[in-house]
A and B are shown apart, each in its own frame.
Chain A
Amino acid sequence: MTGFVEPEPGHDTVPWWEALAEGQLTVPTCDDCRRRFFPPQPYCPHCGSTSAQLQPHAGDGTVYSWVVVHRAFAEEFAGDVPYGIVAVDLDGGGRLVGRFSGDPGLLRDGLPVTAEIEGVADFGILWFRPHDEEGTR
């Protein structure tokens, strides 16, 4: 079982987690300047607008940076090491961080990946898998 620590969403973030729990990745998108941002927050950090929507996203993107965790800092992940964490630039803009489901040895700059959401409790774990099926677990 994948390590997981339950988040404690606040006023600004509950809807994002609810969508993820339903299997839908979303990215806050400003109604005024049309730019994406993350995390969900009450004002657009690009232009200050109060009007934004959680736009569904297919989850395709490329790896911008990554680490491989060899020592767990929280006991929930002690059984997972070594595991990869990737920062992914989503197609069309926006950067998210998720678990990497492929062999960490595959990780490189620009690796194409797709999001997959694992349901857990009332939340979801955001995974990214490499497009090369050979690399998936």
Chain B
Amino acid sequence: MSSSRPSFAGNTAIAGVGYTELTRNSGRSVLAQAVEACRAAIDHAGLEPDQVDGIVSYSVLNDSVLGQAVAAGLGGVELSYAVDLNLGGQAPCHAVALAAMAVDAGLAENVLVYRALNGRSALRIGSTSYASPTSEFRYPIGFGAYPQYIAMWARRYLVETGGTAEDLGAIVLAQRAYAERNPRAIVRNPITMDEYLAMPYVVDPFRRADCTSEVDGACAVLVTSRDRARDLRQRPAVIDSAAWVTPRCSGLDMADLFMWPDWSRNCHSYLADQLWERASVSRAEVDFAEIYDCFSAVVPMALEGLGMCERGAAPGFVADGRTGPDGPLPVNTHGGLLSEGYLHGMNTLAEAVLQIQGNEGERQLQRNDVALVTSGALMDGSALVLVGE
């Protein structure tokens, strides 16, 4: 594995962010929402649609639209770079890295990265048993959905760290507190530990509040060169480091967990060294983190895997308020996917950019220069370090 600094690191940036409304039933096509979010990101950056010449997207089970369709929706722009990934929540940081590589290599100048889906009103990935190369060994016995797979890993994490139900609850509570300040969040009501513990299990150890809410919507970012970004409308979020990993024993598909030796550690334990070796900043310089959290237990696995907390210490770190807005490491400042809704982590990444840009209103962080962002919960995944210009 190469650990030298890739040339796009430090030379590319995210210049704009666009969202649609997040809803439980959009009543609109995925294409309409994808184009709306992409147009919003272009406008946010201060560009025009015809200046876009690259698109990267990702989807699961054909739940999105191809980049070529978005290019048509932007008024028929011509692309010199187009990638449509067949990936889910592992993808957003990786997709931005692919866009940055294209920009740095001169293949394209301004590249959109988007995720769009009717994730609530159409195919619900979180509660769907779908065919994959290894699903025949899971769904016949009633073990066929993501909440169940990741609950298995959460259990092992709790076994190995001596964790409790309150440890998962602490993450839920901390993120709900942020969600109160996020008008985009689909779940905004505060919750107490007693209320959390009184909730019925969906799949023990997960209660409803440990699981993200599926939503309809779209989110996009615009990647360009650092030099161009300096002349645009927003403070550039410079792509300082990026890493993707498909570790050994990742299995045959996104949910093939049989060969993975340690269910208490996920992809982030395996990409940490590369991520930090490629960065110009150290772990200690990170101001805040936006951690992919389809389920609560993924947060401590990622924080510990990336070296932000000692093994087993992340739940206590969260419970002590250290990931709150005034703590040393604010985490999931939008309320996380748990609260804002499941745009498969594109919104996790977008939140980091918005915080760096500095216009987040009542949830704006005071220290917003260095962000850690993750994508993924199980075997493969990706991460970014973003630094404000």
Q: Is B1 an interface residue (CB 8 A)?
A: no
* A109 CA to B158 CA, complexed, in Å: 10
Can you list, as one digit per residue, whether each of A54-92 has a CB less than 8 Å from chain B (1) or not (0)? 000000000011111111111011001011010100000
User: B203 near A68 (CB under 8 angstroms)?
Assistant: yes
Can you list, as one digit per residue, whether each of B217-253 has a CB less than 8 Å from chain A (1) or not (0)? 0000000000000000000000000000000010110
Complex interface residues of chain B between 66 and 93 (CB less than 8 A to chain A): none
CB distance from B89 to the nearest CB of A (A): 18
Q: Is B200 an interface residue (CB 8 A)?
A: yes
Q: Is B204 an interface residue (CB 8 A)?
A: yes
Complex interface residues of chain A between 110 and 133 (CB less than 8 A to chain B): 123, 125-126
Contacts of B152 in A (CB 8 A): 65-67, 85, 87
Q: Is B322 an interface residue (CB 8 A)?
A: no
Can you list, as one digit per residue, whether each of A7-50 has a CB less than 8 Å from chain B (1) or not (0)? 11110010001000000000000000000011101000100000
Contacts of A5 in B (CB 8 A): 129, 139-140, 142, 144
User: B258 near A96 (CB under 8 angstroms)?
Assistant: yes
User: B155 near A98 (CB under 8 angstroms)?
Assistant: no
Q: Is B263 an interface residue (CB 8 A)?
A: yes
Q: Is B138 an interface residue (CB 8 A)?
A: yes
CB distance from B130 to the nearest CB of A (A): 11
How many of A's residues come within 8 Å of B, CB to CB?
A: 43
User: B153 near A65 (CB under 8 angstroms)?
Assistant: yes
User: A37 near B259 (CB under 8 angstroms)?
Assistant: yes
User: A70 near B258 (CB under 8 angstroms)?
Assistant: no
User: A39 near B256 (CB under 8 angstroms)?
Assistant: yes
Among candidates A4, A7, A95, residue contacting B258 with C-beta atoms closer than 8 Å: A95
- Residue of A whose beta carbon sits closest to that of B264: A65
* A98 CA to B294 CA, complexed, in Å: 24
Can you list, as one digit per residue, whether each of B256-293 has a CB less than 8 Å from chain A (1) or not (0)? 10110001000000000000000000000000000000
CB distance from B343 to the nearest CB of A (A): 21
Given A45-B259, A67-B148, A69-B203, residue A97 in contact with residue B136 (CB < 8 A): no
Contacts of A123 in B (CB 8 A): 140
Contacts of B138 in A (CB 8 A): 97
Contacts of B151 in A (CB 8 A): 67
Q: Is B145 an interface residue (CB 8 A)?
A: yes
User: B140 near A4 (CB under 8 angstroms)?
Assistant: yes
CB distance from B278 to the nearest CB of A (A): 28
- Residue of A whose beta carbon sits closest to that of B251: A45
* A30 CA to B202 CA, complexed, in Å: 38
Complex interface residues of chain B between 131 and 147 (CB less than 8 A to chain A): 131, 133-134, 136-145, 147
- Residue of B whose beta carbon sits closest to that of A126: B141
**A5-B129, A69-B204, A73-B144 provided; 4 other pairs, C-beta below 8 A?**
A10-B136, A45-B259, A64-B263, A66-B152
Interface residues of B (CB under 8 A from A): 127-129, 131, 133-134, 136-145, 147-148, 151-153, 155-156, 159, 200-205, 249, 251-252, 256, 258-259, 263
